[in-house]
Structure formats: structure tokens, C-alpha cells
A and B are shown apart, each in its own frame.
Chain A
Amino acid sequence: MLDVAIRRPDGSTAVDLGRRGAPPLPVAPALAPILPDGLRRGATISVSGSVSLLLALLGTASADGAWCALVGFPRISAEAAREYGIELSRLALVHAPGTGWTTAVGALLDAVDVVAARPPHGRDALPAGDVRRLAARARSRDAVLVPYLRSSTSADSWPGADIRLTARDGHWSGIGDGTGRLRARRVDVRAEGRGQAARPRSASLWLPAAGGGVDVVAVVAVVHAIQVVGAAPAAPVVELAG
């Protein structure tokens, strides 16, 4: 590991390049509880369950200057990407069918900071060797590889991912029975992985939040039971949870 820093005369650090591994890419504050270290360069972070979660993951890094590429996705809405903070001029959508997929992802990992890719499935499923090679390429190029998986089942997985993010139990609010409109969705996001991320973390997020973007669900005290003792005007016993 290389350690380079340039300091001002007063001893404070002007530029700290730290390790050669460069600082991690930032994530939205709402995602910080599940990704405390941000997007570590060289890591493989698989995402499943929600395209919005993927866009939210890229948003802050892209706004901060990182280049992102999405490989093998259907049409992603530019509007939604913008709502999550993605800078469209630094986003490339690559349509790479069949065998071109591995080549394209490999070439992109060379120079693009975050490469999100939907692996082919079924007959064209990736051989295990390609999976390992791409992870190694991401590591050596200080890029972040984000495989997007349709579901979190074992049949559709990315072996060897450092962190696995899963979104589930989406619950939309703002919409009724013929009334209102879709305003926000509450999703439980869970991060599991290995190494530092071995302890699973989870968070409840608004994804998308009202007006777009991602936000934490404010923890509301759940009133478990209110017990009024006798007829006396005693204070209710309130038990708080959550």
C-alpha cells in the first residue's frame, strides 16, 4: 500500500491520497446505516429486488464526479436517475447481448468508477470463471462492480460478492382505492456480506421518497399498549418500541 500525502506548512493535510486504493465513493446519507464505508473501490456489491435501490446507490457517487455505466438494463428513466442525483452526462447505458456482456463489463471496469450490470441468465448464464475474473478486474482497477440480480434466490446470484443488498417488502403510500397517487415506497433494505460486512445490517428506507430520491424512514415510536389503571386519572403506561 502506498502512502502519499501533501501537507501544508502548519502540518494539516492538504491532499491525502491515503492508500493507493483511493477513498471510497460516497453514498447517500440514507444508505449510510447499511453501507457505513460507502462504495469501497475494488468491491463487488450485488443489488437485488429494486432498480430504484441501484439508482440510489449510484446517485451520490455520480453527483460527486464518478462515472457510472449500466450494462444490460432495459430502458432506465433519465428522470428517475436524476431524482436520485445521478449526473446524466457521466452515465452510459450499454446494451450488450450474449457474449459481448463480459467483454463490455471488463472494458468498462478499466476506466469507469461504478459499473452496474445485469448478468445474462438462462442459457447465456455466466461461467464461474468469468465471475471471478470480473471481480478481480474490478479490484485491480479500483472500480466498483454492481451486479444487479432479478431476485435474491440462489438460482440467480453472484458468487463472491463482498456485499449483497436486497430490497424487499415494498409498501406504497399515497395511493388508495381509486384515489391519491403513488407518492413514496417504504422498503426494507438488508445488507449482508463477508469480511467487515459479515454482520447483516438492515434499514427501512423511503425508496423513492416523496418527490423522488431516497430517505430514511423516521423512527416512530410504536405505542404497544396503553393501560389505564382503575378509574383514577393516572398517566397511561406507554411502552415504546422501535
Chain B
Amino acid sequence: MIAVWCPDWPVTAARLEAGLPAETPIAVVTANHVAACSHAARTAGVRRGLRRREAQSRCPELAVLARNESGEARMFEPVVAALEAIAPGVEITRPGLAAIGARGPTRYFGGETGVLHALSRAVAGLAALAGADLLIGVADGAFAAEQAARRGLIVDADRSPAFLAELPIETLDPSGESPLIDLLRRLGVRTLGAFAALPPRDVLARFGPAGAWAHRQAGGRDDRPVSARRPPVEFAVTLDLEPAVDRVDTVAFSARGVAEQFVLDLAAHGLACTCLELQAASENGEETVRRWRHTGVLSTVDVLDRVRWQLEGWLCGSGRPTGGVARLRLVPIETVPTGAHQRALWGGSGAEDDRAHRALARVQTLLGHGSVLMPVLDGGRDPRQRTSLVPWGDEPVPIRSPEQPWPGQLPAPAPSVLLDPPRPAQVLDDAGRAVVVTERGSVPHPPARFALGDERPVAVSSWAGPWPVDERWWHADSARHVVRCQLVDVRGRAYLVTCTLPEGRWLVEAIYD
């Protein structure tokens, strides 16, 4: 993208309006605090955020002008028009900063140099901007292009992340009011490169969507093309004014309702607008179309500000329409998801996990603490021991280490359904007697019929075993001496059965369902 930046634009606009010479120290104030100051004032010690009195005491010859945002927008209009002559689709971030996509004009003018020459010629010819500075920067993303313009640099393709990496973290929000920047600084993250090097998942989990967006900007990955995917037209809202209105504040007042509807419609679909196209038509059919990009997401107030700025430039500029404004249309050009299915955009799963945790906690309150369980892979020789359940929310720590080799455990595949407690079984031989396991662990009469509980025994089609397990024989309470068998009945169902020794009681431990 090619960005055009006018340094201290509020000052320049106010100075041009007041008709002061370029070298006068000037401060633009809002609410009795300095909002912007000229270079001459800055060298005299005036800073942003100073009280008016203090600024005047530091620089006695300071010209103090009130801030006039609509004036800024109006004065910037010729620059936008000059940019528009080079390439359509100018995106205005705010008065004083605009950008155009580099690809189209580069092809048309045969290289970036050609575009820059054409751009300089177009801007230099603007009579209205006598004495104003104007810097041009080229880089990959919108954020990188802005930073390049602030330094008057041309960043080669694919070099944007490297260019951004060197910049201090405060670049993300120069006003210094962002809690994110403050926090990052205290965490020891001092450059954009250091921030960009953090894993995106963790950034999303810790700082939320706003942090994740800042993270993308810091990494130079906000490379949305100028004409990105258009959201469907049904999100566009239209305001018809009857009769036509020729005052900016009246239009802005009437537009409040549609601006709110515009933001809420998108929000209801989990979207937020980052770039907006404002179309206005006069009663005689003249039109103005501008694109406004916002570094964050556009709120209702932001939308109304842009309506005001654009109409100010149009109704009071040179290309003034012959009639009042009859129609206003807001079209979202780019949107980012804010709610559902955000995972796909940011690559993390924080929101999804949060929702699941909340739902499970809700079920837990409905049905009781022990009703929602989480399975944990545990250590042990028995399939039953190898699965333990902990209530949802408790630390899922295995009782025994599942990583140990556990000699004597059954090889995969594991039975899918465990019976806890094990259910008694009938394992019968040919003659209908319970199968006996000898002390040496052999089966003189192999199993021929099998039943779970009191069901009618069915024939056994195949079986394997017996495999003796003699665990913890040194400890009277936890000692366990059994033989295991696997049985498949004629219906194709497979069971894991054990016979306790020396009692000879058959139990079904698990089902291979």
C-alpha cells in the first residue's frame, strides 16, 4: 500500500484556515490541552497534552488555535482528490492520513517509482496546501504503510515485518493511553518484533481480540488488500432525507439511527467493520463516495464522525453539490469476525474453550458436582485401573503414572466399555459346569458357553487365555490374584473376563463393544 501522511495535520489545517505563515509556532487545543503543535512550537518545548497556560509560558509567541475537525476533513479533501486521480479506492484513516493500494497503479505507471512521481506531481500542484508537509511511504500492510509514511520510507515487498520489528511498542498506539501497550511494556516487550514473536494463541488467550489484532499489525500481517472480500450488501444501510438537508450537523444527527443499526446488524452476525464506504447523493444526483478505514473496529460514534468529515469536505469544498443531501448510504467494505467461529481467524481456540467450560459448569450446577466427569489416562495393569474419572474442574492428575511400562497390561486395542463394578458372569464348559482354573493357572475344560449376569448362556466361538495376574501379593489388602480371559460369543461380542483365585468367581471386567 502507498500511504500519504501529512505531519501535524490539525496544525496545518488550523494554520491554513487562520492564514498564518508556516514558521509561526502553533498549538491546537481541545479542552484546554494541547492536541497538536507545529514543529516550531515543539522545539520551544511545547508537547502534546500540556495545559494551555503551560504551553504559552514555555513559548510566549505561541499562536493558540481551537481544534476544528470538520475543517481538517475539508482541507484534506484536495489531497484525497489528488490520490483518487492516481488510483480509485482511496482509504482515509483520518484527515491527514490516507492510503491507496499499490498494485493497480504500479502496473499502470510501470513501477513504484512511476507511481511516486505521479503522486508527487499531483500533490505538489495543490495550491491549498501551500507550506504543508506531505510524506509518502510504501509497505505491505496498512499499518506498515502508515509507519513507512511517517518516516518517508519505501519498504521492499516482504520486508515489512523486518521493518516493523525494530520499532518501539508504543508505535501501536502513540497516544500512550492504551492499557495493552502499558502492560506489554511492563512485561518487558519493548519492540514490535518482540511482540510479534509471541505465539498468536497465547496473545489471544491473554489479551483478547483487540490484542490479537494489535499482534497481527505488529507482525505486519494486517495485509488486507484495498478491495478485500466484500461483505454481502444486506449489511449496507440507507438513509433517505426528505426534504434534502444542506447542513452537516443536521445530516449527522439524522444519521445516528442508521449508524447504530449498521453497527448492531453486523454485531448480531458476529462481525465488526474495519473499513466503511460512505456514499452520499444530493437531490440533484451528484454523488460523493469515500472509504474510511479504521485501525480498530468502527463504533457508532466513529461512523458518525466519518459521516461528518466527509460531508464537511463535500458540502463546503470546491466540488460542492448544487442541492442538499438527499441520501446517505453506509456500506461495510471489510469486516472481521468478533464472536462465533473466531478461532478460524486468529488461529487460537480461546473463545471456543471458554464457551465449553461455561456450558459444562452450567450442567454441573444443574446435576451436581460429580455428574460431569473428565476421563484421565491412569497407570495400571487392568483396563479398569487405566481409566480414572475426575469431576469437571478438578485437576486431572493421574494417581499412578501412565508412562510407566506396567508389564502385564493388555496390549491394544483396549476394550471400549468398562464395567465398574465388574459384573458376575457364567463361564461354562461343555458339560454346563463352571469353568475351573487350576492353581497353576491352566483350564482343563475350556469354556464353551458364556452369559453376562443371569442371561441365557450362548456358545463361545473363540477364546484366549488364561493369563494369570498376581499383583501386590506382599500386601494383604491390595493383593489381587486373578486369571484373565478374552471370550468372543457367537454373536460376535467380545468380553474381558477374570476369574478370581482361589475362589473361582468369574467376573466381566470390560466389553469390546
Contacts and interface: CB of A to CB of B under 8 A. Distances in A.
A157 interface: no
A236 interface: no
Contacts of B103: 9
Contacts of B223: 8-9
Nearest to A115: B359
A41 B352 CA distance: 15
A81 B355 CA distance: 23
B443 interface: yes
Interface in B259-315: 269, 271
Interface in A146-160: none
A100 B377 CA distance: 28
Contacts of A112: 356, 359-360
Contacts of A209: 413
B417 interface: yes
Contacts of B392: 92
B23 to A, nearest CB: 42
A110 interface: yes
A32 interface: no
B510 A77 contact: yes
B464 A78 contact: no
B386 A79 contact: yes
A2 B232 contact: yes
B345 interface: yes
Contact of A111 (B359, B366, B418, B419): B359
Contacts of A76: 375, 387, 416-418
A50 B513 contact: yes
A182 B494 contact: yes
B284 to A, nearest CB: 36
A77 B387 contact: yes
Interface in A85-124: 88-96, 100, 103-104, 107-108, 110-113
Contacts of A107: 359, 362-363, 366
Interface string A157-190: 0000000000001111001111111111100000
Majority DSSP secondary structure for residues of B touching A: mixed
Interface string A199-242: 00000000011111100000000000000000000000000000
B344 to A, nearest CB: 6
B462 A176 contact: yes
B414 A175 contact: no
A88 B376 contact: yes
Contacts of B93: none
B417 A181 contact: no
Interface stretch (B14-22, B24-32, B110-118, B485-493): B485-493
Contacts of B359: 107-108, 110-112
Given A78-B376, A110-B359, A172-B492, A65 B343 contact: yes
B360 A7 contact: no
A65 B352 CA distance: 9
B446 interface: yes
Contact of B224 (A6, A79, A91, A104): A6
A90 B356 contact: yes
A91 B375 contact: yes
A212 B492 contact: no
Contact of A170 (B443, B486, B492): B492
Given A93-B375, A181-B411, A77 B416 contact: yes
B375 A78 contact: yes
Nearest to B373: A93
B62 to A, nearest CB: 45
Interface string B385-420: 011110010001000000000000011111111111
A78 B415 CA distance: 10
Interface size class of A (residues with CB under 8 A): 35 or more
A78 B344 contact: no
A55 interface: yes
A13 to B, nearest CB: 8
Nearest to B493: A170
A183 B512 CA distance: 11
Given A90-B356, A175-B462, A104 B232 contact: no
Contact of A177 (B412, B462, B492, B510): B462
B446 A79 contact: no
B413 A208 contact: yes
A65 B346 CA distance: 14
A4 B339 CA distance: 13
Contacts of A22: 340-341, 344
B386 A182 contact: no
A5 interface: yes
B104 to A, nearest CB: 11
Nearest to B349: A65
A17 B374 contact: no
A94 B344 contact: no
A211 to B, nearest CB: 5
Contacts of A69: 360
Nearest to A1: B232
Nearest to B411: A181
Contacts of B363: 94, 96, 104, 107-108
Nearest to B346: A15
A100 B356 contact: no
Most buried by A among B352, B356, B419: B356
Contact of A74 (B224, B225, B414, B419): B419
Contacts of A67: 352-353, 356
B440 interface: no
A211 B412 CA distance: 5
B398 to A, nearest CB: 10
Given A80-B413, A177-B446, A180-B464, A4 B271 contact: yes
Given A81-B375, A175-B486, A185-B494, A51 B416 contact: yes
11 contacts: A5-B229, A15-B345, A17-B344, A20-B269, A52-B512, A75-B387, A76-B375, A94-B372, A108-B360, A185-B494, A210-B413
Given A92-B374, A93-B389, A211-B413, 7 more contacts: A78-B375, A94-B373, A110-B359, A111-B356, A172-B494, A178-B465, A210-B413
The 6 A-B residue pairs with the shortest CB-CB distance in the complex, in nearest-first order: A111-B359, A208-B413, A170-B492, A79-B414, A78-B375, A78-B387
